[in-house]
Amino acid sequence: MAKDDKEAVNTGAQRKDRPWLFRTYSGHSSAKASNELYKTNLARGQTGLSVAFDLPTQTGYDSDHILARGEVGKVGVPICHLGDMRTLFDGIPLEKMNTSMTINATSAWLLALYVAVAEEQGADVSALQGTVQNDIIKEYLSRGTYIFPPTPSMRLITDVVSYTYREMPKWNPTNVCSYHLQEAGATPVQELSFALATAIAVLDAVKESGQISAEDFPSATGRISFFVNAGIRFITEMCKMRAFVDLWDEILRDRYGVKDEKFRRFRYGVQVNSLGLTEQQPENNVYRILLEMLAVVLSKKARARAVQLPAWNEALGLPRPWDQQWSLRLQQIVAYETDLLEFGDIFEGSVEIDRKVEELKAAAREELRLIEEMGGAVAAVDTGYLKESLVNSNTARVQSVIAGDLPVIGVNKFTESAPSPLTQEADGGIMTVDTAAEAEQIERLRDWRAGRDDAAVNKALEALTRAAKEGQNIMPPSIAAAKAGVTTGEWSEALRHVYGEYRAPTGVGTAVSNAENDILEPAREKVALAAQKLGRPLKVLVGKPGLDGHSNGAEQIAVAARDSGMQVVYEGIRLTPEQIVTAAKAGTVDLVGLSILSGSHVPLAREVCEKLKAAGLGDVPVVVGGIIPAEDADTLKKAGVSAIYTPKDFDMAGIVIDMVDMIMKYEDVA
């Protein structure tokens, strides 16, 4: 017996595999506040950073842009320029850190800022380790933080892949993201096939660009990583991950001729399901998070390289540092206290597991074949096929919860509960961003502009624009622009002028009708009776003001209202209050519904109500849906909002009936 093995037997200790990276997805208010949070989390045993950016940063706007109003620092940290990025990582040696940045449309820019700060710190850029998500296709389908049309967006992805391959060989240049697909309703088969189709589109684009030689291409494929979701059905989810491993290996071997098995490894990070967390009985979410994590750590063959867990209270609002620590401790207990990492793959040879994996692989291959016949993932975005598929799947899931066919404890089963002591504290169990944070960020931005060399900024923007027009790699001029003092909004605006902007298909207009579903029958009867009384159809506008791109709720309300017999105006995401009011007036709607999940519901809803009144539409009822604390609900009602819906309000028929009652009340014919 080897010496190490004898010592392990004598001490009772076993040699363990190295644990995955422990991350916490975080960032809020300001670069300074986020820096303090990062240092706190690292001191508590976090082994990698995962940066959450605010919506203006993600969508290429400076903090003082009209669309940024109410959104600054709400769902992440605002980064407008090199000074902000410098503050964000102050005292954190980037050469020793593994940093994940959840950024897509502006990923080239945020990476440029990161490189510039690393160079200021004296770091060897070639030694930097980390990831930019840099997956724009799923933004068109689920999260909504896209800017440019698909073709130039794919080019930006290609530029980042090619640049990092040459200059930052330890960096993951794209994190093909199926996480948000599941949040938008994707089934396991859709998550597999849509993500793999995206990865194929990226590799095809890289190959066609000619920026990486044929000889180097196989090793470049080895830098492609994935970011996945894991839901509560953890056995199926674990099988999904094993299917991912097999299918990716198959694609790289057969489609691209990659011979080295090392390059064909499926490398992925994960955040377990967040939108599946419940507002009702939120303490149950702790168990959901643990079970979902098991899906991505139990199987050694398909174990995650990095894990970040949501906090128990994310259906209520922003988590506090203690809440994030609780999720971090969960990871640490599984990794260090259990014997999980002492064993090989405990599912190898399981007949049941193998059967499910093969079933998922076969269905995913068929879906991939259909997408390929359409011309690939980008073409399937343009036609609306992928988005419509997700809307349909999410509609089926929501209806299953409403009908009770899909049990959710505390929501449609075992709903009786004692009050949760976790939410009884003065802060309601959540963190609230200081309302002064936005004004302070704007003041810092204005100071930055006033103190920089305008000539250098203009020269850098000219070089950036020229590179975009001439098809040069965008990274070198972006890094130069970062060092010159260019802002996030200026970088994005320069590329908007070259590439244009894009409005993705909503997936609602041609979604499969629910006409045969009994769940909506009471709503249909109510709508029909009201239309008869009014002598015309009822018409509602569903709008998403601000920059929040999580459109699931808006889509489901729009579909339910449409299939209950209402006429629906839904123009997708990222609208100003002025645009919503203009659409309401032009469409002569009977009710305006707003969906806001970014925490900016108070200023945006208040502004919509004020502008409706100014436009002579003060009698049109306004309803708001989102993650809205009770105290904010009172504020909204005082501002003129008629009703408020939160994640606990999942009965679509009931919401439609409420809308009819509000319309008829204002029409004085109830």
Q: For 117-121, what is the mean pLDDT?
A: 98
- Could you give the CA distance from residue 63 to residue 79 in angstroms, rounded to a whole number? 9
Burial (0-12, 13-18, 19+ Cβ within 10 Å), 372: middle
Tokens of 567: 């006429």
538-566 b/e with 16+ CB inside 10 Å = b?
A: bbbbbbbbbbbbbbbbbbbbbbbbbbbbb
How far the first Cα of the chain sits from its last, in Å, is 86
CATH topology of domain 518-667: Rossmann fold (3.40.50)
Q: How many CA atoms within 13 Å lie on the side-chain side of 458?
A: 3
Q: So which residues are the catalytic ones?
A: 25, 179-180, 544, 548, 550
Among 198, 221, 506, 513, smallest CA distance to 364 is for 198
The CATH H-level superfamily of 19-339+349-384+419-423 is: Methylmalonyl-CoA mutase (3.20.20.240)
pLDDT in tens, 32-46: 999 999 999 999 999
Residue 12 clears pLDDT 70, i.e. is over it: no
β partners of residue 545: 575
Q: What is the reported pTM?
A: 0.90
Band (pLDDT 50/70/90 cuts) for residue 517 is: low
- Could you give the CA distance from residue 104 to residue 145 in angstroms, rounded to a whole number? 7
Q: For 327-355, what is the mean pLDDT?
A: 97
- Could you give the CA distance from residue 543 to residue 624 in angstroms, rounded to a whole number? 10
- Determine how many CB atoms are found less than 10 A away from the CB of residue 454: 11
Burial (0-12, 13-18, 19+ Cβ within 10 Å), 191: buried
Looking at 535-646, list the stretches that DSSP marks H as alpha helix, in order from N- to C-terminal side. Answer: 552-563, 577-587, 601-614, 630-638
- Could you give the CA distance from residue 26 to residue 598 in angstroms, rounded to a whole number? 14
Q: What is the DSSP string of 36-70?
A: HHHHHHHHTT--SEEEEBPHHHHTT--TTSGGGTT
Give the chain's mean pLDDT. Answer: 93
Instruction: Break the chain into its structural domains and give their ranges.
Output: 19-339+349-384+419-423, 518-667
Among 288, 402, 286, smallest CA distance to 649 is for 402
Q: Coil, helix or strand for 595?
A: strand
Q: In this structure, are residues 218 and 260 in contact, taking their beta carbons and an 8 Å threshold? A: yes
> In the sheet where 622-625 sits, what is the strand order?
567-570, 539-543, 591-595, 622-625, 643-645
Residue 305 clears pLDDT 60, i.e. is over it: yes
| Kind and range of the H or E run holding 131 | strand 129-132
Q: Coil, helix or strand for 417?
A: coil
pLDDT in tens, 186-241: 999 999 999 999 999 999 999 999 999 999 999 999 999 999 999 999 999 999 99
Residue 10 clears pLDDT 60, i.e. is over it: no
Task: Tally the residues of the chain.
Answer: 670
Q: Which CA distances in Å does 233 have to 238, 359, 420? A: 9, 16, 25
Report strand pairing: 567-570 vs 591-595. unpaired
Residue 253 clears pLDDT 90, i.e. is over it: yes
Among 20, 102, 52, smallest CA distance to 306 is for 20
β partners of residue 131: 100, 172
- Could you give the CA distance from residue 440 to residue 423 in angstroms, rounded to a whole number? 30
Which amino acid does the sequence have at 497? H
Q: Coil, helix or strand for 361?
A: helix
Among 120, 368, 147, smallest CA distance to 243 is for 368
- Could you give the CA distance from residue 142 to residue 179 in angstroms, rounded to a whole number? 10
β partners of residue 399: none
Tokens of 345: 């793959």
Report strand pairing: 591-595 vs 539-543. parallel
- Could you give the CA distance from residue 40 to residue 25 in angstroms, rounded to a whole number? 13
* Residue 424, pLDDT score: 84
pLDDT in tens, 167-188: 999 999 999 999 999 999 999 9
Residue 21 per-residue DSSP state? E
Band (pLDDT 50/70/90 cuts) for residue 510 is: very low
CA triple 103-109-112, angle to 5 deg: 115
| Kind and range of the H or E run holding 612 | helix 601-614
- Could you give the CA distance from residue 342 to residue 534 in angstroms, rounded to a whole number? 70
